[in-house]
Amino acid sequence: MPKKILVLSGSPKKNGNTATLIGWVSEGARAQGAEVEIVNTAFLKYKTAGCTSCRVCQGIQEYECAVKDEAQPVLKKMANVDAVVFATPLYFFGASAQIKLIFDRMFSLYKWDNETDAFTTPLKGKTLAVVASAYEDVGLDALEKPFALTANYTGMKFMSLLVPNAGVSGNVKNLKGVREKAIRFGKKIA
């Protein structure tokens, strides 16, 4: 059975460095037979600006966000794929706000038992990957850290493809060896 990969793009630019990297990573994954779905989180219609901490998700049996907007089905898909790839440009030493909106609402995919300090999640055992680029060679380590910590905490395999010195939007296409590296990364996810 082919692996299912959900790629979440956090760039508001449709043809920039992030979109280019996603294309290459997806090419590699598809070459290995994986099914790849790409969702551009910048263009989803949200009812809230991230998780509101309503905790309704903790009182229901399903692993889903109670806020009914276009993020809700994306979160449900995370529970039903083999790998979730967060792709983002570096913005002020972190992921874009567009990725952060979805990342924070992943809270709904966990059920905590505060008495035993334990939790369950359908994400355990899956792969969490980050694909990120930066204009220069500063800050990608800070961007990567929350994703790596979340994967470790959740019991997920963590992978990252970090591309420093990518320059302005679209310039990553001119970096020698990055396309091949991204295709290999996609194959590794698959």
> Nearest Cα to 70, choosing from 112, 89, 98, 90?
98
Q: Which residue has the tokens 């990055």?
A: 178
pTM of structure: 0.94
Contact 135, 90 (CB under 8 A): yes
- The DSSP-derived string for 75-87 is HHHHTTSSEEEEE
- For domain 4-189, which CATH number applies: 3.40.50.1100, 3.40.50.10420, 3.40.50.360, 3.90.1150.10? 3.40.50.360
Contact 190, 182 (CB under 8 A): no
Contact 96, 53 (CB under 8 A): no
* pLDDT tens per residue across span 64-105: 999 999 999 999 999 999 999 999 998 999 899 999 999 999
The residue type at 187:
K
* pLDDT tens per residue across span 102-158: 999 999 999 988 888 889 999 999 999 999 998 888 899 999 999 999 999 999 999
Cα 82 to Cα 14: distance, rounded to the nearest angstrom: 25
Contact 35, 189 (CB under 8 A): no
Going from N- to C-terminal start, the domains of the chain cover 4-189
